[in-house]
Amino acid sequence: MRTFKVFITVMILCFGSTLLQAQTKPLSFADAEDVRKTISESAKTTNSIEAGFTQTKELSVIREKIISAGVFYFKKEKLLRWEYKEPFPYLIIFNSNKIYIKDDDKENHISLQSNKVFREVNNILIGAVQGTLLSDTKNFQCSIADLHNQYQATMVPLNARIKETLSEIILYFNKSDYTVDKLVMREVSGDYTRIEFSGKKINQNIPDEIFFIP
């Protein structure tokens, strides 16, 4: 259990929670199912995403919010690259069953095959970015609300291990292309991180070298 909490703390880089700035309109079960299916179908045709991102992290032990920015890459099936450029370089690469983390001169390699906890976290990250997390009824209960130009999907963990650390994951899908505009994750402690994407490029060619693990 401790391992999962520690790794979530690291991977909270990618998610967060936020107070809503607009009125939300909860959808009926039938309408929510239609939206979920539409997003899932769109995910099948989304082969790659490249975007800039801005991340805001708030901790109860620190008064000021921690803001960082960088570039994000996703490519089917299980390729992710989070490249932080500000305020300092930090790199995380997910390539199939491996994770590579580089912090200054320190490097770390993690095998997902031998670590069930890390596999669960990897599945959450891939599912959140791609939109397929909405179909994970085994580990999450999903509710969907209608915003002005987005759909808000709130994912409440059902998995006991995940519930130890996270109270909810919130995904904001753009109504024009059904890709994720913003990812949000709230920790049980009340801490949160928010990451917002900008300048998204969908289904453009991304070289495999981007996801190379040395």
Q: What is the 3-state secondary structure (H, E, C) of the chain?
A: CHHHHHHHHHHHHHCCCCCCCCCCEECCHHHHHHHHHHHHHHHHHCCEEEEEEEEEEECCCCCCCEEEEEEEEEECCCEEEEEEEECCCEEEEEECCEEEEEECCEEEEEECCCCHHHHHHHHHHHHHHHCHHHHCCCCEEEEEEECCCEEEEEEEECCHHHHCCEEEEEEEEECCCCCEEEEEEEECCCCEEEEEEEEEEECCCCCHHHHCCC
Looking at domain 2-201, its CATH class is mainly beta
Percent of the chain with pLDDT over 90: 47
Query: Does the predicted model carry a pTM greater than 0.85?
Result: no
Provide the pLDDT for residue 23.
60
Task: Read off the pLDDT of residues 149-204 as tens digits, 9 standing for 90 and up.
Answer: 999 999 999 988 888 888 999 999 999 989 999 988 888 988 888 989 999 999 99
